[in-house]
Each structure stands twice: as C-alpha cells, then as structure tokens.
C-alpha cells in the first residue's frame, strides 16, 4: 500500500533572506515510520513547524491526505489528525497526568462542549488505558511538575496518542533519557507505528538504528538522501556532511577535521 | 505530597461540595443576620462596599489567576456597570418635577434626552445592560487582542490604554454623563429612598447574594475540564493549540465573564456609595484590584474575596488612624506579600499553613526531614536503637 498521507512539494521557507528550508520535497506513505536526521541547523524543527501550521511556507505546499494545509491554523491541523511532540517535554505542569491526558483526549474541543459536557466514560477508559501504557498509574493524580524528565516525555507521548492523530510528529523523544528508557521509548514508538504514520526526528544514532526502517537526511534545508539506515550511513554525501570532507583527511591525517582552511594557511605562512 | 489521593471517588468529591456549600451558607447567614447587630450602619455600609468589590476580584482571579491574563483595565468594566445602573436611577424623576431630565442636563442646556439614555427607563433592560455592556466591550476588545495572539505585557498595556480612552471620554462628556462629576444624588429605586438605612440594608443583602452566586459560578467554571483548560492556556498556550483547541474562544469567554462580574460589582458599589464617576476608571484603582487578588492568593477564588476584604479594611482603618502615612502601610503590605507569601494568604495556608497550625496545636510533630520517614515507627525504632 503506497497511499501518501503526507506530500510536500518544492517547499521553501525564507526568514528574512535566510532559507531555513530550500526547495524541499518529501513524501510519507500511510502507516510508515520515518526517521529524519541531520546536523544542527538543517531545518528539522522548521520542517515540523511547517507541517503543523506554526510557520507558513514562502513557496510550495504541504498536502495532508490530499488537502493543502496552508489555509489552516494550528488547532485545525491538529484536529485533522496531526499530533506533535515537542523537543523539550511540554506538559501542563500544574495539572495531573490524568488531567493532561483528558484534555488531549477530549473529542469536542470547542468552547461550549468543553464547558458543558462532562468527560464521557469511554474517554475516561482511554485515559486509564494510556496511563497504564506509559506507566504513570501510581502518579496519575499528582501534579505533573513532580514527574521526572523521562516521565514527562512519556506523558507527552501519551497525550499525543490520546489525541488519536493519524500522523505523529515526534521531535527528539529520547533526549535526556537513560539507556533503558530510550529502549522502552523505541518499543513504544514501534508499537504505535502499527496503527499510525510517524515521523521521528532524532540525533541518537543507536536509537535511530533501533526503530528506523527508512531514514531521511536533511542538510541545509533540503533532502540530502533517503534510504535504509545502512545505505544512509555509507552514503559519501552523508559522511561528508557529518564528518567533514574525506579528501581533507587523506591530505593530512593529523589535521583536526573541523579546522578552517584560512587558519591553516595562516599557520603555513 | 504523597500518592494518597489516588482515585478520589465521586462520592467524596460531592461530599466535599456539600461541606463547602454549607460553609458558604453559614457565612452568608452570619453576614446577613448577625453582622448587622454587631456593627454601626456606617461600618455595615463599608462592608457591603467591600463585598461588592470582591466580586470584581473574583473576575480578576478568573482571568489572571487561572488563565494568566493580567488585566489592568477592569476599572472600565466596573464603571460601565455603575453608569448603567446610575442612568436608570437618574431617570427616576417624579412626574410633577419641573424638568423631566436629569438635573445636570439642565445646567449644560440639554433640552432633549439623548437617545441612548432612553432604554434606561426600563429596569429589566438596565439590569441586563449592567452585565451585558461590560461583557460586550470585553468580548470585542478581547477578540481583537487574542485573535492577533497578543499576550502577556502587551495585553496588560492594551487594557491600560483602554482605561485611559474611556476615562477621557467620560470625563469630557458633560452633556451626556455630567463629565468629571459623574452621576450622583440618586433619589429612589422601586419607591425606596436609596440613601435610607433600610434600603442600604437591602443592597447589602443583595450584594451578599450576588457574591455567593458569582462565587458558585466561578467554582463551576474552574472545576471541570473547562477550568483545567484555562490553567493549560496559562501554562502553555502554544501546546494547547497543538492539542487541537483554539484558545481565542476560551479567552474571549472568560474575559467577558470577568468583565460582567466587574459590571455587576460596579452597579452594587454605586448603590452603596451613591456616586459613580470617571474617577473609578483611573489606572490606580484597576491596579489596586490586582493587588487584592495577589494578597489573597491567585487561582484560589476564596483568596480573591479574602484579599479584597483584608486590604480594604486595612485601608479604611489605617487611613482613619494615620491619615498621613497609611499609604506606606499599603505599600508595606504588598511588599510583604510579594516577598514572603508569593502565593498570597490562601496559597500560603494551603501549602504551609495547615502543617504549621497542626504543629502548633500539637496534632502533628514538626518534622525536619520527610514526614513519611519521621512518622514511621519502624524507622524511628531503628534510629533510636541502632545509633547513628
């Protein structure tokens, strides 16, 4: 099945002359789990900002299930079925995990349904189920600011699932987690991938290896290459971007890779 | 904090509500029947005024304490409510009077009642306007501000600018509103002479009833999912957007409700002071309202009422005893709260006060480490018998 859930064509984002994304094209199949990697400043977060409507593209368009997203605001895009997890865990610290999840789970997100309707019991059951999945049952009714960093990360992933989106955008889910937590997060994402389309942005290569089937490498606002993790790791362009030019190493093995050329010249003379 | 409150059953929650309602009812009965026996008419009238002011404070707590929007312009809504009722009162002219216009209009040579005064012949319309007019102004202003995602300090500045605009407008309209003198010298309401103690007692009771009603409404608004969403908007509005809610609608609604509270308070205050003038739109008064809430404790509701009463009674007592320096006391009070009780009186009571109180009456030992350790007999036994 190769129906596209997300299609991006010739996308350019221009921040006062700085092209955060440059003529980027990308597509994601329904039910796919894709990992996006790339050095700092490659435009990964801007990429998510565009999909979720936080930033509007200068040129090009994003289509989600065939619909152009440009005219919609963030909350409308979220309602269409795109959920986003932020880089640093963003949960509501003064609410309990249960309340956090109930807010995300709410099906009628207008002002008046929220005000007048009590939380229906199917939603309560969903919330209890999620609390169990993310292992927060014992802490379900204390304030979320008392949770550890890892627990907050998981709570946010839980909130994302509670929204029941079709496409999950997950920005660095394992930043600051222990190895064990990282592995459990990977398992969680893989099990979620059975029923959702997921885009994960991550730096931790070991983690990427654990979950990735297809990897996309971003560099300077464009797609550098796409493929399986092994293909990507052996791609000379990727190595060049991450490790510096290969030929430079041949010239002088002792030279630190990131040494700027001009300084070199200065030392030589 | 322990994990003891897991799974609060609905019965225990409804029992808590019954207890709370009983306490509120008890306080109301005390205020209505007992307090008048203990106080002079003058003091009782002051109490009534302060209770009216605490309705505004409730409104400010809703938008500032819960939703995180610091409005420095609630004086406008307060004054609009006051003027709406005052216009009705000014139109209570005996049929045999020489002029059928409010007397100030004669002074400025107005011969015909301005069109927008006419609806205020009717009491139902007036009563509606007291609430609706401020709510509408707030809704329009709020919609424009929130739709453009103006937040934080910029929101506060805009509300303050609104105060100045309204202040100057009302100040300048001698012919329409008697300018800087405001509307005063009210005669009758439903045949009662408004300045007589009997009528004033009725207004006092009315104020208590309205305060209880607005408190109940605020409790309801802040207890369910809606209330949690307000807190969510306060803590991370962007996240709320990405969860699929549009914060604009929620903020407009809560801003309008809080303005309606202010309007109601303004009307009740006007009845008990006998005057409403553009003076209540000066910026200092709007800032004072925020101070009451800060002193009592943000996002506690009870704190808003308590703070209003404490600050205002302190103000009236101190200004009688030390007319020259009482402002210093007010400043000191605010400093103490900001520096030592950042969560206000009620916030402190909730966090720390209960423990301290129990320690003082000897119900609980003062613990230096974790209560869960110190109160555990096994741990204590081990500590005593195995040495350090």
Nearest CA-CA distance, residue B150 and chain A, Å:
16
User: Considering the domain boundaries, does residue B370 fall inside one?
Assistant: no
Stated pTM of the model: 0.86
Contacts of A109 in chain B (CB under 8 A): 243-246
User: Do B231 and A119 lie within an 8 Å CB cutoff?
Assistant: no
| pLDDT (0 to 100) of residue B314 | 87
- What are residue A105's phi and psi, to 5 degrees? -80, -25
| pLDDT (0 to 100) of residue A267 | 41
B4 closest CA partner among A73, A141, A246: A141
User: Considering the domain boundaries, does residue B203 fall inside one?
Assistant: yes
Q: How many domains does chain B have?
A: 1
| pLDDT (0 to 100) of residue B196 | 82
Contacts of B1 in chain A (CB under 8 A): 142-143, 146
Nearest-5° Cα angle at A82, A231 to A106? 145
Q: Is the confidence at residue A245, as pLDDT, over 70?
A: no
| Cβ atoms of B318 and B326 closer than 8 Å | yes
| pLDDT (0 to 100) of residue B261 | 96
Q: Is the confidence at residue A257, as pLDDT, over 80?
A: no
Within 8 A by CB and 6+ apart from B5, the residues are A141, A142
User: Considering the domain boundaries, does residue B351 fall inside one?
Assistant: no
More confident residue, A139 or B353: A139
Q: Is the confidence at residue A254, as pLDDT, over 60?
A: no
Q: Does the CB of B97 have a partner CB in chain A at under 8 Å?
A: no
| pLDDT (0 to 100) of residue B7 | 45
Q: Does the CB of B242 have a partner CB in chain A at under 8 Å?
A: yes
Strand runs labelled E in A59-184: 59-64, 67-68, 82-85, 167-171
User: Do B243 and A146 lie within an 8 Å CB cutoff?
Assistant: no
Nearest chain B alpha carbon to A128:
B7
Q: Does the CB of A88 have a partner CB in chain B at under 8 Å?
A: no
Domains and CATH numbers, chain A: 4-44+54-91+147-260 (3.40.50.300), 92-146 (no CATH)
Domain enclosing residue B306, as ranges: 11-342
| pLDDT (0 to 100) of residue A269 | 37
User: Considering the domain boundaries, does residue B384 fall inside one?
Assistant: no
Q: Does the CB of A118 have a partner CB in chain B at under 8 Å?
A: yes
More confident residue, B367 or A87: A87
| Cβ atoms of B50 and B308 closer than 8 Å | yes
Within 8 A by CB and 6+ apart from B366, the residues are B359
B273-299 pLDDT tens trace: 999 999 999 888 998 899 999 999 989
Which helix (H) or strand (E) covers residue A7, if one does? strand A4-15
Mutate to test the interface with A, among B245, B252, B253, B343 (most CBs of A within 10 A): B245
Mutate to test the interface with A, among B224, B225, B237 (most CBs of A within 10 A): B225
| pLDDT (0 to 100) of residue B265 | 96
Mean pLDDT of A195-210: 89
| pLDDT (0 to 100) of residue A249 | 43
CA torsion A51-A57-A60-A62 (nearest 10°) is 20
User: Considering the domain boundaries, does residue B356 fall inside one?
Assistant: no
User: Do B225 and A79 lie within an 8 Å CB cutoff?
Assistant: no
| Cβ atoms of B231 and A41 closer than 8 Å | no
User: Do B225 and A103 lie within an 8 Å CB cutoff?
Assistant: yes
Contacts of B243 in chain A (CB under 8 A): 75, 78, 103-104, 109, 159, 163
Q: Which residue stretches of chain B have pLDDT < 50?
A: 1-7
User: Considering the domain boundaries, does residue B354 fall inside one?
Assistant: no
Q: Does the CB of A148 have a partner CB in chain B at under 8 Å?
A: no
| pLDDT (0 to 100) of residue A74 | 92
Q: Which residue from B225, B228, B242 is facing A74, i.e. has the nearest CB? A: B242
A53 closest CA partner among A29, A20, A79: A79
Nearest CA-CA distance, residue A152 and chain B, Å:
14
Q: Which residue from A95, A103, A139 is facing B243, i.e. has the nearest CB? A: A103
Nearest CA-CA distance, residue A130 and chain B, Å:
16
ipTM, two decimals: 0.84
Structure tokens at A268: 């030589």
A112-134 pLDDT tens trace: 888 888 888 889 999 999 999 88
User: Considering the domain boundaries, does residue B232 fall inside one?
Assistant: yes
Contacts of B249 in chain A (CB under 8 A): 110-111
Q: Reduced to 3 states, what is the DSSP secondary structure of residue A5?
A: strand
B226 closest CA partner among A158, A110, A128: A110
pLDDT band of residue A2 (cuts 50, 70, 90) is: low
User: Considering the domain boundaries, does residue B357 fall inside one?
Assistant: no
Q: Which residue from B231, B236, B244 is facing A109, i.e. has the nearest CB? A: B244
Nearest chain A alpha carbon to B240:
A75
């Amino acid at each position: 099945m190769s129906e596209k859930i997300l299609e991006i064509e010739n996308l350019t984002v221009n921040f006062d002359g700085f092209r955060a994304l440059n003529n980027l094209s990308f597509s994601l199949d329904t039910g796919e789990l894709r990992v996006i990697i790339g050095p700092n400043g490659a435009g990964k977060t801007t990429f998510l900002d565009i999909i979720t409507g936080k930033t509007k593209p200068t040129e090009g368009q994003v289509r989600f299930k065939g619909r152009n997203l440009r005219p919609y605001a963030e909350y409308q895009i979220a309602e269409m079925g795109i959920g986003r997890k932020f880089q640093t865990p963003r949960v509501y610290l003064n609410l309990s995990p249960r309340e956090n999840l109930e807010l995300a789970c709410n099906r009628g997100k207008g002002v008046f349904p929220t005000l007048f309707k009590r939380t229906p019991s199917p939603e309560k059951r969903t919330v209890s189920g999620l609390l169990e999945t993310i292992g927060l049952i014992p802490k379900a009714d204390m304030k979320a600011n008392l949770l550890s960093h890892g627990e907050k990360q998981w709570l946010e992933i839980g909130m994302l699932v509670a929204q029941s989106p079709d496409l999950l955008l997950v920005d660095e889910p394992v930043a600051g987690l222990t190895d064990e937590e990282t592995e459990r997060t990977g398992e969680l994402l893989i099990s979620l991938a059975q029923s959702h389309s997921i885009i994960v942005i991550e730096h931790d290569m070991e983690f990427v290896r654990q979950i990735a089937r297809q990897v996309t490498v971003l560099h300077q606002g464009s797609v550098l290459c796409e493929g399986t993790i092994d293909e990507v790791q052996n791609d000379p362009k990727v190595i060049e971007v991450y490790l510096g030019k290969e030929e430079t190493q041949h010239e002088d093995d002792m030279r630190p890779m990131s040494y700027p050329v001009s300084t070199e010249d200065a030392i030589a003379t | 904090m322990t994990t003891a409150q897991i799974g609060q059953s609905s019965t225990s929650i409804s029992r808590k509500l019954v207890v709370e309602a009983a306490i509120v009812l008890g306080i109301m009965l005390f205020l209505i029947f007992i307090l008048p026996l203990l106080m002079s008419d003058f003091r009782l009238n002051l109490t009534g005024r302060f209770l009216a002011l605490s309705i505004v404070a409730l409104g400010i707590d809703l938008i500032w304490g819960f939703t995180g929007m610091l409005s420095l312009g609630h004086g406008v809504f307060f004054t609009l409510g006051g003027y709406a009722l005052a216009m009705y009162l000014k139109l209570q002219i005996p049929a045999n009077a020489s002029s059928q216009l409010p007397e100030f209009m004669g002074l400025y040579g107005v011969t015909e009642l301005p069109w927008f005064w006419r609806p205020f012949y009717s009491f139902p319309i007036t009563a509606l306007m007291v609430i609706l007019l401020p709510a509408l102004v707030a809704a329009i202003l709020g919609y424009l501000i929130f739709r453009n995602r103006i937040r934080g300090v910029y929101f506060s500045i805009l509300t303050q600018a609104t105060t100045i605009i309204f202040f100057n407008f009302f100040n300048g309209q001698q012919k329409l509103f008697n300018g800087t003198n405001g509307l005063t010298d009210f005669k009758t309401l439903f045949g009662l002479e408004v300045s007589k103690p009997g009528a004033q007692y009725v207004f006092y009771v009315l104020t208590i009833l309205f305060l209880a009603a607005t408190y109940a409404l605020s409790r309801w608004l802040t207890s369910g999912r809606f209330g949690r969403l307000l807190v969510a908007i306060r803590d991370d509005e962007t996240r709320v957007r990405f969860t699929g809610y549009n914060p604009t609608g929620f903020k407009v609604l809560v801003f309008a409700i809080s303005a309606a509270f202010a309007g109601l308070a303004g009307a009740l205050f006007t009845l008990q002071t006998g005057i409403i003038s553009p003076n209540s739109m000066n910026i200092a008064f709007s800032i004072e309202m925020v101070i009451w809430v800060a002193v009592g404790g943000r996002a506690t509701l009870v704190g808003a009422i308590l703070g209003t009463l404490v600050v205002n009674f302190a103000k009236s007592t101190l200004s009688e005893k030390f007319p020259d320096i009482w402002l210093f006391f007010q400043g000191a009070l605010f400093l103490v709260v900001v520096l030592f009780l950042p969560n206000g009186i009620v916030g402190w009571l909730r966090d720390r006060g209960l423990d301290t109180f129990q320690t003082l009456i000897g119900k609980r030992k003062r613990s230096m480490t974790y209560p869960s350790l110190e109160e555990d007999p096994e741990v204590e036994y081990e500590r005593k018998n195995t040495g350090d």
